[in-house]
Structure 1
Amino acid sequence: MAAVDRQDPEPNRSAVRRAIAAAAIGNCTEWFDFGVYAYVATMVGAAFFPAGDPAIQTLSAFGVFAVSFLLRPLGSLFFGPLGDRIGRQRVLAVTIFLMAGATFVIGCLPTYAQIGVAAPILFLIARMTQGFATGGEYGGAATFIAEYSPDRRRGFLGSWLEFGTLAGFALGASIPTVLTLTLGEDAMNAWGWRIPFLIAGPLGAIGLYLRKRLEDTPAFREISDERKIVHSPLRSLVRHHWRMLLMLVGIVIVLNVGNYVLLTYMETYLAEVLSLPRTVALMSMVVVMLAMMGIVLPVGALSDRIGRKPLLASACLSYIVLAVPAFLLIQQGTWAFTIAGLALLALCQVQLLGTIPSALPALFPTPVRYGAFSIGYNISTALFGGTAPFIIQALVTGTGNEMWPAYYLMAAAVISLGPVLLSPETAGRPLLKEKPAKGVSPVKPIKPTPP
């Protein structure tokens, strides 16, 4: 196990603030895309697939969405080790450019009626590009913030990453609603659905500008100067850190299942399973997300004071205890009970959101940190997070039991609780550093990108 070095001098506050903003806006862009896509999937299906059964068109649109998840692990295998070799800043500039660019392109593509079968092919390529780039985004952004943050404030500063998540999804869910109310359904179906995708362009441009103006992280510049960058971070990770990698995968199962149940599936559950008006379902979700945005930063600060493990364990136990009561409340069908049930789920999830971005990067040494987080996180996302809405909906439909989302969340929490309890406490401690493993040659120092 690598030794823990003494605490480093803190970077200046202005650099830390710019680093946080640059990292968080990428996460905001990613989840903005999710929010938009979930809401306009029916319109997208009608635009890019042959006319006929609307249900088949929507299914095709969601099928393309699912394909993008298959590209995320591949993207993490490419961008993660690359970020450990050439630097976090350079790779994060590429990922936000590709993510936002692919989303923007979807808003510009001609429809099936205009160019025929080329339309769904181009649409699929754009979604695959977005998924591939996303594979290197979250792990890199969390690493970037962690390596810029002072040790005693890493929890609070890291929680801004998930503030970006919630802000992005709230915007992605709200903007199509406002456009529908403003333009009307006919205009929205004809061309208005393009506007939210086009918004990703300037959003990504702002993020790219911020990222290009930053130096790489102090931790990466240090290992570059000291010739501790390894030729093959992926090989080093698999050979020397595979146990901790498996632990990371286990920890983020509950995070990913919670994210995709609460933030992407819940609106469908409220509207289609419980037959609530879609506007009520959407506004309920927006209210809860805004509340979570107000709580996630204090949760991050709390993790700096009491530790990461107590909050992660509390989140798992909360899901085990509160998931069933939460869904019993939601199933009452009134707006007040729906908000109350969603609030219980949000209380569970926000403990994870406020803690994970600072807890997990600290599990790995600097030479493999970006790759470790990206690969472990995205494998878990592809296997357990992205599949959760589909599996849960299939179980609800097949059995007629509307409590399956609660049971699924409880199972995820039980699985993640073990790795959480076995993981080391990292709050307030310097990030791990180590020399290249025996038999692994260092590479030449990399000149940092000037601001």
Structure 2
Amino acid sequence: MNAELVAHDAPYRATRREEIKVVAGASVGTVLEWYDFFLYGSLAVFFSSHFFPAGSATAGYLASLATFGIGFVIRPLGAVLFGRFGDKVGRKATFLVTITVMGLATVGIGVLPSYQSIGWASPALLIALRLLQGLALGGEYGGAATYIAEHTQPGRRGLATGWLQTTATVGFLLSLAVTLVCRAFVSGDAFASWGWRLPFLASLILLAISVYIRTTLSESPVFAKMKSEHRLSDSPLRDSFLVWRNVRAMLVVLFGAQAAVGVVWYTCNFYALYFLTTTLKVPTSEAYGFIAVMLVFSLPLYVLFGWLSDKVGRKWIVLAGCGLAVLTFLPIFTQLSQAVNPRLVHFQQTVPIRLAANDCSTSLFGAPVSDCDKARDFLTQAGLSYSVESGAPAGGLVTHIGERPLASFDATAYRKALVDAGYPVMTDVNQINRPLMFALLGLLMIWGAMAYGPMSAYYVELFPAKIRYTSISVPYNIGAGYFGGLAPFMSTALAVRTGNVYYGLWYAIIVGGVSVVIGAFFMRETMDVDVSQ
């Protein structure tokens, strides 16, 4: 960057060509970050048995998912660590570090020896790699959003950062695509044995490309100007967390926007996939194909709503997307059931399922133990709602599938009783009402894009330049990591606890609804803010 541009009081304005390079450079790295992160979740079912002691396959899978959750838990610490680094040292250097750490940690999982080879060192190293991934991801988003916005001309920040908002979806798509390609060329047994490592190793290519592109970028002009004028914060953490104006802004954006955006985006994307495969029994390959089509459909929507926020403002687009989502989740998913698996809906309406047990507590943090716990888990995985009542003899369990009583729990007997009563074990894909299904999934994608598309620009405009990296990263990662990251667990826990497959949506509805109300009263509009200050 020309030094004369920094020396003048007038803020630096990148050309359109430079903007495109900046957006591409920042976004391609963030795609890799999300690709790496999602890859673990999608392949955990294959590699869980390699890194944990042999025995219970369910326990190993749960342990691998718990390790996945560590990546969410550690993200706010990464936000603090790399946020301070970004506000003190520079935007470019920081997100070069984050992408390198993330990429190498992912490749490390691909070459990690199994538990059978090195014992307990294997899960210990896996946890360490997941911690590194979570730390790096905690520092990536704030840096990329800040870097793009600080290069962008006024009136175009929503449009430019809207491209960044597509990266989570692109990363998710890329992880699915690479996995499917690898599975197409490797047999099922070989993929379970060693083929699952290939998608992790493939990230080395993406890492090399991303690092090369980012090394060609210049430092953010806003940061360079602050540095030349000696306006950098001496302590970004102190200025972020001990100045009430900034603390208030972080609290408002966390509880008034990001909490809702987190649960809405995860529900519209990941919960939709879970609902199709687990609840509605759509074959996995078909469900992935449906969601992939809709993810492609959603990509331009993030840019569209980012652009629209440049015209009418950020606040009400974000809140409208979240509000429409929480108001329509229940009817959308109810109609989705009817469109995708009407036989299952008919079965539920005509064959009531009742669990009679005097003690039917559930274990949410481990493998099912009691008969009632096992029955609940079995029925939830079958996509079936049920009611629980007292009255079983001698504290045991009696399950009524229609008029047929079954004493205690036996998976084979349950499965036979369900089939005999007309339960559809798998969706008949030829009977799916595809126009209605895609219309309903399309609404979910629109709500998610409305909520998420303008958020980068809003974050950047909300905080002063000298503490922007830190102040963006912390509330974003708490909201996305804790509120959004808890969505899969809380949704499943609510469904199991209540016996209703739709009650899992209430987590997103309640969190999102409360957040929208807070945001409506306390969020301020920011689209005309000068980001150089």
TM-score between the two structures when normalised by the length of structure 2: 0.77
Question: Larger relative CO (CA 8 A, sep 6+): 1 or 2?
Answer: 1
Q: Which residue does 1:205 correspond to in 2?
A: 208
Q: Which residue does 1:142 correspond to in 2?
A: 145
Alpha-carbon offset, residue 99 of structure 1: 0.7
The question of 1:246 aligning with 2:264 is answered: no
For 1:415 and 1:208, the matched residues in 2 are separated by: 40
Over the aligned positions, Cα root-mean-square deviation in angstroms equals 1.7
Alpha-carbon offset, residue 170 of structure 1: 0.6
Q: Is the 8 A contact 2:41 2:68 kept in 1?
A: no
Amino acid at match of 2:218: E
Q: Which residue does 2:512 correspond to in 1?
A: 413
Query: Rg larger in 1 or in 2?
Result: 2
Amino acid at match of 2:283: P
Q: Is the 8 A contact 2:80 2:470 kept in 1?
A: yes
1:240-279 matches, cutoff 5 A: 240=243, 241-250=246-255, 251-279=257-285
1:177-326 matches, cutoff 5 A: 177-240=180-243, 241-250=246-255, 251-326=257-332
1:17-416 matches, cutoff 5 A: 17-240=20-243, 241-250=246-255, 251-332=257-338, 333-334=340-341, 335=432, 336=434, 337-416=436-515
Alpha-carbon offset, residue 346 of structure 1: 1.0
For 2:204 and 2:65, the matched residues in 1 are separated by: 22
For 1:392 and 1:196, the matched residues in 2 are separated by: 29
Q: Is the 8 A contact 2:179 2:199 kept in 1?
A: yes
Q: Which residue does 1:431 correspond to in 2?
A: 531
Q: Is the 8 A contact 1:49 1:120 kept in 2?
A: yes
What percent identity do the matched residue pairs reach?
Answer: 33
Alpha-carbon offset, residue 424 of structure 1: 2.2
Alpha-carbon offset, residue 45 of structure 1: 0.1
For 1:425 and 1:262, the matched residues in 2 are separated by: 25
Q: Is the 8 A contact 1:362 1:432 kept in 2?
A: no
SS of the residue corresponding to residue 151 of structure 1 reads coil
For 2:335 and 2:438, the matched residues in 1 are separated by: 9
Alpha-carbon offset, residue 428 of structure 1: 4.1
Deviations 1:352-406 (A, max 9, x none): 2211111111000100100000011112223211111111111112212122343
For 2:440 and 2:41, the matched residues in 1 are separated by: 22
- The answer to which of 54-63 and 110-119 deviates more is 110-119
Alpha-carbon offset, residue 429 of structure 1: 3.6
The 3 A distance-change label for structure 1 pair 9 and 224 is closer
Q: Which residue does 1:440 correspond to in 2?
A: none
Alpha-carbon offset, residue 155 of structure 1: 0.5
Deviations 1:219-263 (A, max 9, x none): 111111111111111111112211001012121111211233333
SS of the residue corresponding to residue 525 of structure 2 reads coil
Alpha-carbon offset, residue 284 of structure 1: 1.7
Amino acid at match of 1:216: E
Q: Is the 8 A contact 2:11 2:532 kept in 1?
A: no
Q: Is the 8 A contact 1:303 1:355 kept in 2?
A: yes
Amino acid at match of 1:260: Y
For 1:120 and 1:320, the matched residues in 2 are separated by: 38
Amino acid at match of 1:290: V
The 3 A distance-change label for structure 1 pair 52 and 268 is farther
Q: Is the 8 A contact 1:35 1:171 kept in 2?
A: no
For 1:173 and 1:428, the matched residues in 2 are separated by: 39
SS of the residue corresponding to residue 457 of structure 2 reads helix
- The answer to which of 341-350 and 153-162 deviates more is 341-350
For 1:18 and 1:270, the matched residues in 2 are separated by: 38
The 3 A distance-change label for structure 1 pair 206 and 49 is same
Alpha-carbon offset, residue 432 of structure 1: 5.7
The 3 A distance-change label for structure 1 pair 7 and 400 is farther
The 3 A distance-change label for structure 1 pair 50 and 266 is farther
For 1:297 and 1:188, the matched residues in 2 are separated by: 37
For 2:217 and 2:518, the matched residues in 1 are separated by: 35
TM-score between the two structures when normalised by the length of structure 1: 0.91
Q: Is the 8 A contact 2:73 2:482 kept in 1?
A: no
Mark the runs of 5 or more structure 1 residues left unpaired by the alignment.
1-5, 434-451
Q: Is the 8 A contact 1:319 1:409 kept in 2?
A: no
Q: Is the 8 A contact 1:7 1:151 kept in 2?
A: no
